[in-house]
Structure 1
Amino acid sequence: MLTLDKVFDASNVLKEVIRSTDCIAAPNVNPDCNVFLKTENLQITGSFKVRGAYYRISQLSDEEKAHGVIACSAGNHAQGVALAAAKNGIRSIICLPDGAPISKVEATRSYGAEICLVPGVYDDAYAEAIRQRDEYGYTFIHPFDDENVIAGQGTIGLEILNQVANANVIVVPVGGGGLISGVAFAVKQLNPRVKVYGVQAEGAPSMVKSISEDKIVCLDSVHTIADGIQVKEPGENTFEYCKQYVDGIVTVTDDEVSSAILHLIEKQKLIAEGAGAVSVAAVMFNKIPDLKGKNVVCLVSGGNIDVTILSRVIKRGLLKSGRSDTLTIQLDDKPGQLKDVSAIIADLGANVVSIHHERASEDSDITECLLRLVLETRDYSHIREIRAALTAKGFKIVNK
């Protein structure tokens, strides 16, 4: 049974192992409230997951330690278990789907785990981990639905209350629910006036649907750039803790998550993965009710974003925040047109990133051509200003 004493015990056990990550002010996230970031993206292994994994492994019996542990994960939990097992001198086996990013596989291996690549997806890796557990007597370390794991994650709640004593709202990413269960439990025990809200990706709203229908719901499919919270079904324990202690759970789109990642890079000089940035996205885009004038802590849960997709995420973030625009302009095919368009754009302070000039088109007159421009812009009002100026000069913009 989860108790506050267990959370405090976890905090004591973890003291010499993990970082007490900073809570930093982030005044540009939302001008209506005072935002702080709990920077678990700067935790060892790059994620909060090591807290729960380490505390769970620290509570094993000598016999269980002798047999070793097994887990399945395509990301942060794998690295947390691998490091925790290594620090406790225990053998660890991590089952990963064979399509897992090479960077995550190698990171897990670097912490001392034995890697078992399983053909298929996460569910196949899970089935193989359970099979090996039953055959070889390993202890399975669940990524979220275990009370010792939840207690370890709850230590973040203790730290937040110590770091932001006048916090009114804490916003937490939600996948399977282990993180928010621990944080909400600890916070509500110590200061029930503090509101705790969860955030899921719009493409993976398993806890949102479960709470709404008052039963555990397993989604048919999930799809989001926030792969760390791409969970089809919440846990039995976490579902009950969320019902009891969480004030509400909202969703954010992938575009909003991309904008939050970009904001954290530009304004806070922080790298967050999609799952880590959903809390910031929810506050940026006013998904959480009644934040005006409040002290709001966004838990940035991890920073292990795959660098191969970071450029695509940034591009999405630029588009969503009005920092980039693509113009298609229909022109008379005569000298001086490009010069006039360029002058208008330059006078208004935008930057042309790329340009494509196309003379022949099925939909245009034989004397016309199309000019496609990609621009760097300040925001949506800047885009509207540029488009209005071009239209006022008689240029026809053919894309909205």
Structure 2
Amino acid sequence: AAKAQRPDIKIIAVEAAAAASFTASLAAGEPVNAPVRPTLADGLAVGRVGDRSFALAAPRVDRVLTVDEQALSLAVLRLLELEKTSCEGAGAAALAALMGKAGQALKGRKVVLLLCGGNIDPTVLHRVIDHGLALDGRLWRFTATVSDRPGGMAKLTQVIADAGASVLEINHDRAFSGPEVFSTTVEVTVETADQDHIQTLHERLREADFEVISATGSR
């Protein structure tokens, strides 16, 4: 309908990279089978595009983009946070593409996103939010070695507080921390502002002589 009224508009299709059956079918010139992996965009996870759907879409779609799972998680989070809209992974695929390199190419142009589908399970939504926050640099988890003498943990939490981060959880492991009797391993999850904030906190920990053994949620 849109193409019939405005033949000059460009239609960009978006699908999950984990189930890129339309991309494969366009390359083959006909519907073909494509591998499907688990994806947040389960509404798009089909191994073969339907014959009728392909016949309708192929002549009208100007370009096809694929998005990965990280982009889908961030898109769901952005819609919930900024637009107060609960959208499933498949419905958020268009925004996921726009937030990537495609968005730079379309800068300054009038773009319409179709958000179709709000059928997301609350437990899945909870996981997606946490995953999106970690990708966004707003949750960071690290493992560090601290002194097991009085004041060791207090020093660690003070460094975190002075850096402007907030502790969500600390797991304290004495039994499996290695041969040092007076040191222990802690796994800490903190709330941060962004990736730059994580980098700042990481540097503050090093300056305070805390050895960060491993970290997740940072680039």
| TM score, norm. by length of structure 1 | 0.51
1:89-134 C-alpha deviation (Å, 9 max, x unpaired):
xxxxxxxxxxxxxxxxxxxxxxxxxxxxxxxxxxxxxxxxxxxxxx
Counting only pairs closer than 5 Å after superposition, residues 344-383 of structure 1 correspond to structure 2 as 344-361=159-176, 363=178, 365-383=180-198
Amino acid at match of 2:97: A
Greater shift, 377-386 or 231-240, is seen at 231-240
Match for residue 69 of structure 2? 254
Aligned length: 215
In the alignment, the residues of structure 2 paired with residue 371 and residue 362 of structure 1 have an alpha-carbon distance, to the nearest angstrom, of: 9
Residue equivalent to 1:158: none
Q: Does 1:272 align with 2:106?
A: no
C-alpha offsets along residues 156-201 of structure 1, whole Å, 9 cap, x if unaligned? Answer: xxxxxxxxxxxxxxxxxxxxxxxxxxxxxx2222222222111111
Pick aligned residue for 1:308 from 118, 123, 126? 123
Contact 2:147 2:153 in 1 (8 A): no
Equivalent residue runs for 1:236-251 within 5 Å: 236-251=51-66
Aligned residue number for residue 198 of structure 1:
13
Structure 1 365/193 Cα, relative in aligned 2: closer, same or farther at 3 Å?
farther
Q: Which runs of 5+ in 1 are unaligned?
A: 1-185
Q: Percent identity?
A: 35
1:289/1:234 CA distance change after superposition, 3 Å: farther
3-state SS, counterpart of residue 250 of structure 1:
strand
Aligned counterparts, 1:1-400, within 5 A: 186-287=1-102, 290-361=105-176, 363=178, 365-400=180-215
Distance 2:111 2:179 in 1: 53
Root-mean-square deviation (CA, aligned residues, Å) is 1.8
Letter in 2 for 1:276: G
Does the aligned pair in 2 maintain the 1:197–1:288 contact within 8 Å? no
Q: What residue ranges of structure 2 are gaps of 5+ in the alignment? A: none
Distance change >3 Å, CA 288–CA 364, structure 1 → 2: farther
Shift of residue 254, structure 1, vs aligned partner: 1.8
Bigger radius of gyration = 1
> C-alpha offsets along residues 56-94 of structure 1, whole Å, 9 cap, x if unaligned?
xxxxxxxxxxxxxxxxxxxxxxxxxxxxxxxxxxxxxxx
Partners of 2:112 and 2:179 lie apart in 1 by 53
Q: 1:189 to 1:264 in 2, by over 3 A?
A: same
Conservation of the 8 A alpha-carbon contact between 2:36 and 2:46: no
SS in 2 for 1:372: strand
Equivalent residue number for residue 38 of structure 1: none
The amino acid that maps onto 1:305 is I
Q: Against the structure 1 CA distance between its residues 209 and 289, is the aligned structure 2 distance closer, same or farther, given a 3 Å change threshold?
A: farther
The verdict on how the C-alpha distance between 1:263 and 1:364 changes in structure 2, with shifts beyond 3 A counting, is farther
CA distance in 2, matches of 1:288, 1:396: 39
Taking a change above 3 Å as real, the CA distance of residues 222 and 359 of structure 1, as seen in their structure-2 partners, is: closer
Instruction: Give, as a single letter, the amino acid of the residue that structure 1 aligns with 2:26.
Output: I
